[in-house]
Every structure is written in structure tokens, then in C-alpha cells.
Structure 1
Amino acid sequence: MRKIHTTLAGVAMAAGLVTTASAETTLRIQTHQGQSSSYGQAIQDFVDSVSVMSGGELNIEMFYSSSVVPSAETFDAAINSILDCDMTNGSYQAGKNKAFQFVSDTMGGYDSPLQYQAWVEMGGGREAVNELYAGYNMTFIGAHVGGQESLTSTRPLAGVADLENWKFRAPPGMASDIFASLGAKPIVMDFSEVITALESGIIDGADASTLGNNLRIGTYDIGKHTNFPGFHSMAADHLACRTDVWEGLSEQHQTIIEVAYQNVGMDLILQTLVDNGEALAKLPDMGVTTYNWSAEDRATFRAAAQEQWNVYGGETEEGKAMVDSHVAFMQRIGLIQ
């Protein structure tokens, strides 16, 4: 990963953000990402940068791979003061309110991570999310996402027509419903079961991860068909802190965290672009066929996704507000009519 510590420290010093006060603050944060992964490396850079930029006043104790509580319980652990902040995925809290799904992934919505980040930073996304999080005494600091995911399949997957009776590993919730509406047969199973299920023929394919990550975990050793660029999913993780903890930080420390965290998002976008490009070059020699879905097929998927946005978002006022925010911004940037 690109090292940003010295540069950011210099920016902080030049702006007068770093002082020589001796008081120290430590934030306890949990991520579900492994420390050795691309995500984990970017997060460790964030931890190091916060310490450098604050002159050691502000430190982060990062718990990787959900080592304190299960991933889906991280948000509640922060609410209940077991942790201070949550760096997992907003959609894990969809059981509380379906609006949380739209913090993380609209499914079939944005074409690139930059579009999603633009919604957060310039399209009212931050405000919409914080209206939701405020009810749980949590503050949304921002989000990070590498890029679109690619599907793995043991049979051709050139377009929407190939989804008919396609049995694939899917996460629970909206993703399964969108694919099912297009004729696929989603089977909800844990991520760790994907390889075994592909080998045994229980599934024809999998909704797993990005092209680079799929190659790394070995799905293309079995499934010799994939799509790229991706279009169906781009799940963003978040940084959210308990509101009393966040508001208890000085403006200096809040700014340091915000600036350092923005670099996590950019590092992951750049790293995913490189990882996917390197993976794409390797796939032909592995006998993997790559499909770039047509604009018409992408539009068909997005239309099916929008129907489910209305179903999921329509269940609560917060969900409707979140969907309306995304749709308004997608129209603003010309992504949908």
C-alpha cells in the first residue's frame, strides 16, 4: 500500500493541527478485515497516520478479523461501550432497519467507487446516513470501498439470459431477491463455504468478491467464467463512532481522523484497480472466459434492482429517505433517468 504517514504528518504540522500537549486518547475500533489483506493494510496505514499526525496524542487500538465480537455485533459493541467505533459494514445492521442496506450497497446502482464516494461527500449521503445513525447514538465518519465485484461461474455468464436457473452462492437479503427476480437460484451460504460448494457442484457460481480477490481465494480454479467490469455489487465498509466519543474529541483530532480516513478510501480504489488489472491479465492462461455485459443487460439488472430498492426502502421512513437520496444523486450525475 502507498505510505502516506510522512506526507500527512507534514500537512498536519503545516496547518498547525499537531500540538505538543501530553494528553493521550485511545480509540478502540474493530474491523472484520484481516490485517494482511489489502483492506487491512490500508487500515493499518490509517492507524499509523493518525498517531503521526496527532504527535502521539491520538492513538487507535485496531482489532482485526472481528477478534472482539462477531462482525455483525460490532455496531452494538460500540453503542454499548465495549468498543468506541465500528469499521465493518453498515448492511450488517439491516435487521434493525432496512435503511442500513443502502448505507453499504445499493446493488446495481453505482458503476464506480468514485460515484459512491461522491454521493457520501457531495450528494447528501453523509447527512442521510447520520440521520439514521443518530437514533443509535452513532456518528458516521465516512466509508471506504475498493470497487465493483465480479461473479464466478462454472457455466457461461454473458448476460441476463444466462441467469436463468443459475444456482449461486448469495448473501441474504436484497441481493438474493434481485437475482431471483431475473431467474437465478440464489443459495444463501457463508463465504467460507464457496470453494467446497463450487467443487461439489452444489452451486454453479458465486457472488464472492472483486476480480482480484476471487483470483486470490481460488474461485477461478474451479469456475472458468466471470464478468468484468463488475456491475451488481460494491459493498462499502464504514467508520462509525459512538456519538459521545466522537463529540468528546477535539476539533483537531476529529479533523486528523477524517483526513487520514479519506486516504483509506483512495488507497483501496487505487489498489483494487491494480489488483483487478493484474488478475485480468492472468485469467486467459487459466482458461477463464471474461464477459463484459452489454449496456442493455446492465440496464435490465439495474431496473430489477430499483424495484427491490423500493421494496426494501419502502419499509421504513429512514429507508425511503436513503433510497430517495441515492436516486436523486444518480439522476444528478446522469446515471439513471
Structure 2
Amino acid sequence: MRILSLGAAATVASLAALAAPADAAEPEITLRIQNLFSAESLPGQNAAQFFDDLEVMSAGRIKVEPFYSSAVVKSVETFDAVVNGILDGDMTQPSYQTGKDPAFQFVGDLMGGYDTPWQLYAFFYNGGGLELARELYAEYDMRLVGWWIHGQEALSSSRPLDGVASLEGWKFRSPPGMETTIFANMGASPVVMDFTEIFTAMESGVIDGADASNLAVNKSLGIYDVVDHATYPGFHSMPADHFAIRLETWDALPDDLKRIVDVAWQKHAFQNSLSHAIEIDKTANALREAGATLHDWPAEDRAAFREAAVTAWDEYATSEMAKKFVTRHKEFLGRIGLLD
């Protein structure tokens, strides 16, 4: 009979332990996660990859039940649905929660601040933004995992939008929050409505245009089948959608699964931004070829918008947490040379 050495025996024992169903015996955790995008859209496809990564990296210990296009509740109601246990995860927009605290605006969209997703990620991960945001979310029994940024957004319109003067009387869909104040002060007529209502409202002429998302996402929504004007490159908004989990659910996760969620999310977020950068440029070329007009605002008009946005930051920061966010953003923007 062949006798194994102690080292070989230990190796065999280790392999047997890995093959044993111990991990499989651990209870599976099912996360019911809602996002506002369709499954067919680019962010929807990227979200699906993230869900798959979670299941594979956790060896099946994490299962995801996804809900696209805000299938369970309206986009703006997702956060509360998670807090109340209807869902487990929210992949929508922080600024939907400004009614709770205006600080959520500065988590979701500073408006007129950063030029690229990478600058904003740097604020989150290297400028103290993540730590401050997690303090805010914890106040509402939520754990902020992180952000996913789809790139600079475009304003879509049935009429030309070639500068500040063209905003006068322009009736458009706006997300809730500080944006409505900025654009109203510049002569536009923002109308707050759910993301899923945009196409129908534009098609029926209820609104002249929309601030929905970037060019690529807008095209996937069918917006440019209805209107043929857009701003590009974007300048007014670069929102960071969030992924937040009910704090009770997060705390119940073993440490290794928490690490898997964090790592898988960062991979997803960065890949999402890269894929959108490519798609935005491809979409711009396709829209021009199809006869759409893309408006690149002149420097003086962009400066006027940034000035209006900076003024609005201080006006909108009416809570202690919001003031902390504005201060931290300004410090970081100054550090990287985007703000005097």
C-alpha cells in the first residue's frame, strides 16, 4: 500500500475540504435589487454583469433577483422600498432623496463641478467623499456601497439649445433637486417627473425636452426618434448613481461577502464608465450622420452655467451634512485645479 507523506496528506485534506459541501451548506443570500434602466440598455447590461459577478465570485452564496426599469416601485421610491424591506438594494440616483436631506444632491450630482468620471471617482475614493456619504446613508439605515457614473449628460430637445439664451421658456423634464433651481434661475421651465415617463411626455409634446442621461442612454430610450437636438459634449450634469443596501442586510453579510460586494462593485463601476465613454462618442457620430444637431456651448456660456451652479451649491446646502459636502467638494476641486 502506498503511504502518503504528511505534506501530501495535508494537501489532499485541504483539497477535500475545498470540495466538501461546507460552503454550499451556508444559507444563500438573495438580494432583490432595483435599478431604473431597462435590461437592454447599456447600464442595464452592465448591471447584469455585476449581478453575475456577485454570484460567481461568491460561489453561489449570493443570488440576485434583479428588477429593471423600476419594475417594483417608481424610481424615486426605490430608496424607501429598500429601507422598508420591500427590496434589498437600490441602484438609482441619490438626488431623489433630497427631501430627506439636501446633502443627497451633493452625493448624486454636484452640477457643473467635475469634467470627467475619473475626477469624481477620485473625490469619492481619495477625497473623503465615500466616508462622508456613508455617514449620511447610515442615518437612514442604509449602507452605501458605491457609485456608477455614466458620463457627462446631454440635454435633449425638440428645438435648438445652443447657449444660455436658448434656455428661456424651455420646458423640460428635470430630476428633483438643485437642478430645478439652477435652470429656473436661467429662464427654463423644469418639470420633475419619473425617469420612466420621459419618452411618452416628449412624444406627446407635454415637454420640449429632457435631462435624462448621456447620449448613448438617451438613444437607447428612443429619445432621438422624437427630437433631434442635443448638447454635446455635456457640461451641466454628471450624476453618480448609487448602489445602497439596507444596513441590516449589509451587517448580516459575512466579511468575505462584504469584500466581494465592494470589489465587484468597483469593477462594475469603472467598466460602466469606460463602456459609456466609447458609446457616447459612437452615438454622437451616429446622430450627426442621421441629421441630428449637437450643440457644443461656447466657453462663455459654459462659464455662465458654472457660475450659476456654484452659487446654487451654497444656497442649496441648508443642512449641516450638505454644508460639509460642499466644503469637501470645493477643497478637492481646488486641489485638482478645477476651482479657484
| Short-chain TM bin | 0.7 to 0.9
8 A contact 1:198–1:204 mirrored in 2: yes
* Same amino acid, percent of matched pairs: 47
What does residue 85 of structure 2 align with?
A: 81
Structure 1 stretches of 4+ moved >6 Å: none
Unaligned runs of 5+ in 1: 1-15
Amino acid of the residue matched to residue 272 of structure 1?
H
Aligned residues: 319
Instruction: State the partner residue of 1:144.
Output: 148
Instruction: Select 2:166's aligned residue among 147, 151, 162.
Output: 162
- Out of 66-75 and 114-123, give the one that drifted further: 66-75
Measure, in 1, the Cα distance between the counterparts of 2:250 and 2:237: 30
Name the structure 2 match of 1:281. Answer: 285
CA distance in 1, matches of 2:44, 2:265: 13
Q: Which residue is 2:333 aligned to?
A: 330
Worse-superposed segment, 290-299 or 173-182: 290-299
Structure 1 CA distance, aligned partners of 2:287 and 2:42? Answer: 20
Within a 5 Å distance, the mapping from 1:117-266 to structure 2 comes to 117-195=121-199, 197-199=201-203, 201-266=205-270
Residue 47 (structure 1) aligned with residue 51 (structure 2): yes
Superposed CA offset, 1:82-115 (max 9, x none): 3333222212211111111111111112112111
Distance 1:152 1:65, change over 3 A: closer
Deviates most, 141-150 or 295-304: 295-304
In structure 2, list runs of 5 or more residues that go unmatched: 1-17
Q: Is contact 1:72-1:92 (8 Å) kept?
A: yes
Q: What is the RMSD computed on CA atoms of the aligned residues? A: 2.3
**Secondary structure of the equivalent of 2:211?**
strand
2:323 is aligned with what amino acid?
K
1:107 maps to 2:111:
yes
Q: Does 1:64 align with 2:86?
A: no
How far off is 1:285 after superposition? 2.8
Larger CA deviation: 151-160 vs 265-274: 151-160
CA distance, structure 2, for counterparts of residue 81 and residue 194 of structure 1: 28
1:154/1:225 contact within 8 Å kept: yes
**Structure of higher CA gyration radius:** 2
Amino acid at match of 1:298: R
Structure 2 letter corresponding to 1:30 = I
Query: Residues 279-300 of structure 1, C-alpha deviation per residue, up to 9 Å, x if partnerless?
Result: 1112223222222223332221
Partner of 1:3: none
Q: 1:31 to 1:84 in 2, by over 3 A?
A: closer
1:291 corresponding residue in structure 2: 295
Kindly provide the CA deviation profile for residues 154-197 of structure 1, in whole angstroms up to 9, marking residues without a partner as x.
33322223223333332333212111212223233444554455
2 CA distance for matches of 1:113 and 1:264? 14
Alpha-carbon distance between aligned partners in 1 of 2:205 and 2:90, rounded to the nearest angstrom:
37
2:38 aligns with 34
| Alignment equivalent of 1:311, drawn from 308, 315, 319 | 315
What TM-score comes out, normalization by structure 2 length?
0.86
In structure 2, distance between residues paired with 1:194 and 1:69: 16
1:62 deviates by 2.5
Q: Residue type matched to 1:137 in 2?
A: D
Distance in 2 (CA, whole Å) between partners of 1:284 and 1:199 is 21
How far the C-alpha of 1:234 sits from its partner, in A, is: 1.8
1:130-177 deviation digits (Å, cap 9, x = unpaired): 111121121111011111111122333222232233333323332121
Equivalence for 1:8:
none
Between 22-31 and 255-264, the greater mean CA deviation after superposition: 22-31
Cα pair distance change 1:64/1:20, threshold 3 Å: farther
2:69 alignment partner, SS class? coil
What one-letter code is carried by the residue in structure 2 that aligns with 1:100? F
- C-alpha change, 1:113 and 1:29, in structure 2 (3 Å) is farther
Where 1:129 maps in the other structure, the secondary structure is helix
Match of 2:100, SS?
Answer: coil
